[in-house]
Amino acid sequence: MNLRNIAIIAHVDHGKTTLVDELLKQSGAFRDNQRVAERVMDSNELEKERGITILAKATSVVWNDVRINIVDTPGHADFGGEVERILSMVDGAIVLVDAAEGPMPQTKFVVGKALKVGLRPIVAVNKIDRPDARADEVVNEVFDLFAALDATDEQLDFPILYGSGRDGWLAPEPDKPADASLAPLFDLVVEHVPAPSVAEGPFQMIGTILEANPFLGRIITGRIFSGSVKPNQPIKVMDRNGKTLEQGRVSKILAFRGLERQPVEEGQAGDIVAIAGLTKGTVADTFCAPEVTEPMEAQPIDPPTVTMSFIVNDSPLAGTEGDKVTSRVIRDRLLKEAEGNVALKIEESEDKDAFQVSGRGELQLAVLIETMRREGFELAVSRPRVVLKKDEAGTMLEPVEEVVIDVDEEHSGVVVQKMSERKAEMVELRPSGGDRVRMVFHAPTRGLIGYQSELMTDTRGTAIMNRLFHDYQPFKGEIAGRVNGVLLSNEAGEAVAYALFNLEDRGPMVIDAGEKVYAGMIIGIHTRENDLEVNVLKGKKLTNMRAAGKDEAVRLTPPIRMTLERALSWIQDDELVEVTPKSIRLRKLYLDPHERKRFEKTKATA
């Protein structure tokens, strides 16, 4: 059968997954009476909640006797490792761009990778029905971006479609035609994207997506570059260096047919298939016939820039809410995650009760922690730190990100001030329509940890911030951190409303009455710079004397609720976030006050 393999790439929230929904509907992948969820490709629970794609997924449609394999990719820079691998599976890419926002940092990142691999892009200007749409300017910006990324003349001669993925139409002109549908996109993919090139020789395939299935075991998805594969065929797995990891037989071959994966009798070269039956092969490994001796070249993956410590939970409440608490169970889970996610790096500490987990950004690590807590894990995690490295001359280098902030003009001053405090350099400032300005900074990753919530407060929730790894640059010096101290509980028990009411003058609380607390746990934010130990268990003294005003109900100010991302970015280096299936608590690294003082003294002398 005639084949085409394409990826849909774009910045987060530009409408990739919604467009895939419409492509599936209009190609007849669903029955007429079939009930279909919105953003059907976002199958993961966290993806549905957050409205973002985290894992790349493949699907397939048939159009005029041509089978089109479509890969939906994440739009967030933290999950860029997924996108980099996917590009080796496809021969073309649909670059989706918002008609108002234009190309954003993540668009630049992914398109740069796609052009380098030699893919010929199709540009789709989406959300053309937005009142602030500026289609012509956006097309010019896309052209400038392609030229800046060293696109070839062939790649610069890209076809353009305009439309609305949500309403299910794309057309060569911005005005909606009478017979509006996605047919122009399907036809363009068939014409513009080349059929998969097939090499001569025995079966070879690079693993690009790994998943576990309770019935079939490990399933690895990839594109067959040469030869064919059948069930029960003997194959071997080689790593990037050519070392044979295992030999085995293929138990099942699954091909994508709409949203379903169906068993097939043979996988042909050029097609994207999933194979089961091997226990060790993972992402970026070569799956091939036994006679093959050289591994295929895999796409290099950008290095991780942020690291965190995952520590066994040693608080007095450990084990009361989760059932997976030991270091062995946490270690196995992290190693399993690192197998399928090549952008993650796991290192074990010497005492075996802590693990250094390095990734692309805070969001990627927060999603991993959130997934683990839903699986029943209990653990403590440290504040994210950047991965520093030294150059040949011995100069300390740190990761620097390109930050694009779209904000109302009235708030631009406070954004510039806060970014300069974080050692950021402004490289561009221009109007972006509707009394808004777009600012581009080069800022050290260290300074951006925890800035998102502060930016939202400063701009009354109107700013949009996008970040992208730029490169490693010389260390930019110390950056001022949090100015407030914390309020710490000095005893274990349940917090009493009367005590919390009397402590409100000291600062806002982060816990509610009735919550369990322990010595060394953070219960509030101090209004001053120092930490303060307080008693939250102190109840009201009861007497049989009555007086006016004695029996007024205690009215507590609602506490500040810390989400996982906010907690990770808010804590200091001597504090931890305790994560359990039911709670997110903040605590000091050392719960004992004497140990804390000793730690502060050693830090001061150092």
Sheet holding 272-276, edge to edge: 244-249, 234-238, 286-288, 204-213, 217-226, 272-276, 252-257, 260-263
Task: Consult the annotation and say whether 423 binds a ligand.
Answer: no
Helix axes 327-340, 362-374, angle to 10 degrees: 130
- Whose tokens are 């800035």? That residue is 451
Say whether 64 sits in a helix, a strand or coil: coil
Task: Consult the annotation and say whether 18 binds a ligand.
Answer: yes
The whole-chain average pLDDT of the chain stands at 83
- Among 288, 450, 280, 293, smallest CA distance to 363 is for 450
| pLDDT tens-place string over residues 20-52 | 777 777 766 554 445 444 444 445 555 555 556
Is residue 1's pLDDT more than 50?
yes
Q: What is the mean pLDDT of residues 83-100?
A: 82
What is the CATH code for 2-192?
A: 3.40.50.300
Task: Consult the annotation and say whether 16 binds a ligand.
Answer: yes
What is the residue extent of each domain of the chain?
2-192, 204-288, 389-474, 486-605
* CATH class of the domain at 204-288: mainly beta
Task: Consult the annotation and say whether 526 binds a ligand.
Answer: no
Spell out a b/e string for 328-367, using b for 16 or more CB atoms within 10 Å of the CB, else e: ebbbebbeebbbbbbbbebeeeeeebbbbbbbbbbbbbbb
> In sequence order, which residues have a C-beta less than 8 Å from that of residue 549 and are 6 or more positions away?
none
Q: What is the mean pLDDT of residues 199-223?
A: 83
Task: Consult the annotation and say whether 15 binds a ligand.
Answer: yes
C-alpha–C-alpha distance, residues 490 and 535, integer Å: 6
Which tokens hold the place of 86? 């996917």
Spell out a b/e string for 89-112, using b for 16 or more CB atoms within 10 Å of the CB, else e: bbbbbbbbbbbbbbbbbbbbbbbe
pLDDT of residue 438: 87
**Residue 325 · residue 369 · CB < 8 Å:** no
C-alpha–C-alpha distance, residues 257 and 189, integer Å: 18
What is the CATH code for 486-605?
A: 2.40.50.250
Residue % of the chain over a pLDDT of 90: 12
Is residue 513 left, alpha or beta, with left meaning phi > 0 and alpha meaning psi from -120 to 50?
beta
Residue % of the chain over a pLDDT of 70: 89
pLDDT band at 148 (very low <50, low <70, confident <90, very high): confident
Q: What are phi and psi of 179, to 5 degrees?
A: -95, 50
Q: What is the mean pLDDT of residues 427-432?
A: 85
pLDDT of residue 33: 45
- Among 95, 89, 127, 97, smallest CA distance to 110 is for 95
Q: How large is the C-alpha radius of gyration of the chain?
A: 27
Is residue 482's pLDDT more than 90?
no
Task: Say if 2-192 and 486-605 have the same CATH topology.
Answer: no
Task: Consult the annotation and say whether 107 binds a ligand.
Answer: no
> In sequence order, which residues have a C-beta less than 8 Å from that of residue 375 and are 6 or more positions away?
324, 333
| pLDDT tens-place string over residues 95-120 | 888 888 888 776 777 788 788 888 88
pLDDT of residue 549: 53
pLDDT band at 441 (very low <50, low <70, confident <90, very high): very high
pTM: 0.76
H-only helix segments in 442-491: 445-448, 451-458
User: Of 1 and 413, which is predicted with more confidence?
Assistant: 413
- Whose tokens are 């479609």? That residue is 161
pLDDT of residue 479: 80
Is residue 550's pLDDT more than 60?
no
pLDDT of residue 41: 47
> In sequence order, which residues have a C-beta less than 8 Å from that of residue 95 and are 6 or more positions away?
9, 10, 107, 111, 114, 121, 122, 123, 124, 142, 158
* CATH domain 389-474 topology: Alpha-Beta Plaits (3.30.70)
Task: Consult the annotation and say whether 129 binds a ligand.
Answer: yes
User: Of 264 and 553, which is predicted with more confidence?
Assistant: 264
Taking the CA of residue 522 as centre, how many other CA atoms within 13 Å lie in the half-sphere pointing to its CB?
30
Task: Consult the annotation and say whether 13 binds a ligand.
Answer: yes
Is residue 224's pLDDT more than 80?
yes
C-alpha–C-alpha distance, residues 207 and 220, integer Å: 6
pLDDT of residue 61: 83
Task: Consult the annotation and say whether 345 binds a ligand.
Answer: no
